[in-house]
């Protein structure tokens, strides 16, 4: 299954490379990785969606290995936390004036925007969950050939809750329940 990690890193050259290289070297699969600035110019925020074939254990490994990178400040797993996740897509539909209204109609239903109109194409901008974006793409496909650009997922927990931090000792974390449960897990 896919896990979603929110990772704060120092905003320094090469940090993205270090993170990407770590995933490659440790044979973890990245579904998507988004990086951008934050409220603090010294800090960048990554949202990493990664495949965790054996669930919690894999998530633990990813987290522990991320902390080996000196530039990593904080890692939270927001997979199971109430959180807002968003993906943004630009979808170019090859469509002449005769079917433009259909595209308009769909955009309205999905609360998407038409951000460019040309003689034989329009560009739809949509923000939302992956599901929502997948559905509009599927509905637009029969109307005209598509070109799609997507940002990949960004995530933020709701309210004051943080995501799960599994590693004790990092940022003053204490051992969490997961660690305690591990104590009782037998092979």
List residues near another protein by CB under 8 A.
Answer: 13-14, 17-18, 21, 25, 57, 60-61, 64-65, 67-70, 73, 167-175, 179-180, 182-187
Spatial CA neighbour of 83 closest among 164, 162, 158, 2: 158
Please report, for residues 61, 91, 164, the alpha-carbon distance to residue 50 in angstroms, rounded to integers and kept in the order given: 12, 25, 15
Nearer to another protein, 119 or 180 (CB): 180
Nearer to another protein, 10 or 147 (CB): 10
Q: How far, in whole angstroms, is CA 167 from its chain's centroid?
A: 22
Please report, for residues 15, 35, 85, 170, the alpha-carbon distance to residue 152 in angstroms, rounded to integers and kept in the order given: 19, 10, 10, 28
**Smallest distance, Å, CB 33 to another protein?**
17
Q: Coil, helix or strand for 162?
A: coil
**Smallest distance, Å, CB 110 to another protein?**
42
**Smallest distance, Å, CB 186 to another protein?**
6
Nearer to another protein, 7 or 73 (CB): 73
Nearer to another protein, 19 or 122 (CB): 19
């Amino acid at each position: 299954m896919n896990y979603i990690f929110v990772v704060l890193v120092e905003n320094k050259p090469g940090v993205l490379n270090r993170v990407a290289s770590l995933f490659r070297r440790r044979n973890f699969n990245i579904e998507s990785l988004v990086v951008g600035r934050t409220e603090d110019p010294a800090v960048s925020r990554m949202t990493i969606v990664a495949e965790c074939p054996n669930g919690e254990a894999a998530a633990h490994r990813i987290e522990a290995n991320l902390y080996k990178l000196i530039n990593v400040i904080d890692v939270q797993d927001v997979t199971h936390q109430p959180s807002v996740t968003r993906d943004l897509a630009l979808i170019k539909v090859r469509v002449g004036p005769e079917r433009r209204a259909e595209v308009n109609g769909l955009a309205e239903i999905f609360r998407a925007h038409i951000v460019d109109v040309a003689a034989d194409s329009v560009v739809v901008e949509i923000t939302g969950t992956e599901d929502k974006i997948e559905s509009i793409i599927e509905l637009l496909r029969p109307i005209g050939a598509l070109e799609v650009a997507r940002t990949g997922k960004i995530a933020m927990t709701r309210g004051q809750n943080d995501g799960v931090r599994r590693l004790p000792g990092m940022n003053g974390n204490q051992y969490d329940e997961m660690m305690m449960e591990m104590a009782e897990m037998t092979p």
